[in-house]
Amino acid sequence: MKQITFLISCFSFLILFTSCEKESLLPANDDRVPVTFTSNITAAPQTRTDGNNWVGNDLVGIFTRGYKDVDNFRYIVKAREDHNEIGDLQPAGTDTLFYPQSGTVDIIAYYPYNSSTTLGVHTVDVSVQTNPGAIDLLRADTTGVGKPSSPTPIPLRFKHRLSKLTLTVKRGAGLTDVDFTSGITAKIGGMPTTVQFDLSDGTFSNHGISSSFDMLVKDKTISEALFEAILIPQGANVSGRSVIFTVNSMTYFWAIDDTVAFAQGDNHNYTLTLNGTGITIESNSITKWTTNNHGSQTAPELP
């Protein structure tokens, strides 16, 4: 599973004079040690809309439990001009975290930030796929964070909490006169579009009514198209899931096998060929969601 490493490092001493007491983990005194976050997206992950780079002003939410509870503090990601894969996380507004004066705290962080999120309920909606970075749910945690004698970086390893479907669609026999660039779409049906995610333990509940939604067209040529969709995780033995392709005035229906489980952090890769008589599965594989694999790895075809 792709991991995004966030490091907690010392912030400027001047922040001590600009933060409000209600946003602190400590009583107001000069012994406070503020923290900030530096992120480094590694292994060329396809987390954001532009690959392995942060998009400016991304917001991360942070909770703490222990010495003092903090709820949904906002931190903003500032991508570095010379290295966009590295982002400096800074307090958004007056939300500033400090190390506890005594004892320890547990830290839970998530992306993307939502002002209505609580530790127990973060609402996920994947019905609109046009901006994957806006729906790509990530979560990280670390426990037992205490005030260090000398501040050192603390890694937070973020992981994908949703699943992904990647389809490479090729033009086959009977469609040689069809130009995919002039119009090809893919719509997913029979899968939930909303769910509630519990940040405290990483579980899902209250799956929304299944409805159809468009997959994102990542690329297309005259004879080939690449589609992607971020999906709410589902177990196996689920019927009624499908992808409907429309090419000009022709419609193709592909039933997703009931035995397929869409697990957290998995990327399901299929290569399909549309021809004059239907759909042929050329290859399929399940890879960890670390890079954007377009079906170069193969596995036995689904029945």
HEC string of 88-115 equals EEEECCCCCEECCCCCEEEEEEEECCCC
Q: What is the pLDDT of residue 80?
A: 55
How many residues are present in the chain? 303
Q: What is the pLDDT of residue 290?
A: 65
Q: What is the pLDDT of residue 91?
A: 81
Residue 275's DSSP bridge partners are: 278
158/6 Cα distance (integer angstroms): 8
Handedness of CA 215, 46, 285, 235 (dihedral sign): negative
* N-to-C CA span, the chain: 27
Q: What is the pLDDT of residue 22?
A: 41
Q: What is the pLDDT of residue 30?
A: 56
* Residue showing tokens 């960890």: 288
Q: What is the pLDDT of residue 14?
A: 31
Report helix, strand or coil for 116.
coil
| Residues 6+ positions from 166 with CB-CB distance below 8 Å | 226, 227, 228, 267, 268, 269, 270, 292, 293, 294, 295
Q: What is the pLDDT of residue 37?
A: 66
| Residues 6+ positions from 20 with CB-CB distance below 8 Å | 94
| Residues 6+ positions from 110 with CB-CB distance below 8 Å | 60, 61, 117, 122, 137, 138, 139, 140, 199
Q: What is the pLDDT of residue 191?
A: 95
Mean pLDDT, consecutive 10-residue stretches, the chain (303 aa), reads: 43 35 48 68 38 65 91 79 59 84 90 95 96 90 85 74 96 88 93 96 91 94 96 94 93 95 95 93 89 29 23
> Which tokens belong to 57?
């002003």
Domains of the chain listed by start with CATH number: 4-160 (2.60.40.2620), 163-288 (2.60.40.2630)
54/37 Cα distance (integer angstroms): 14
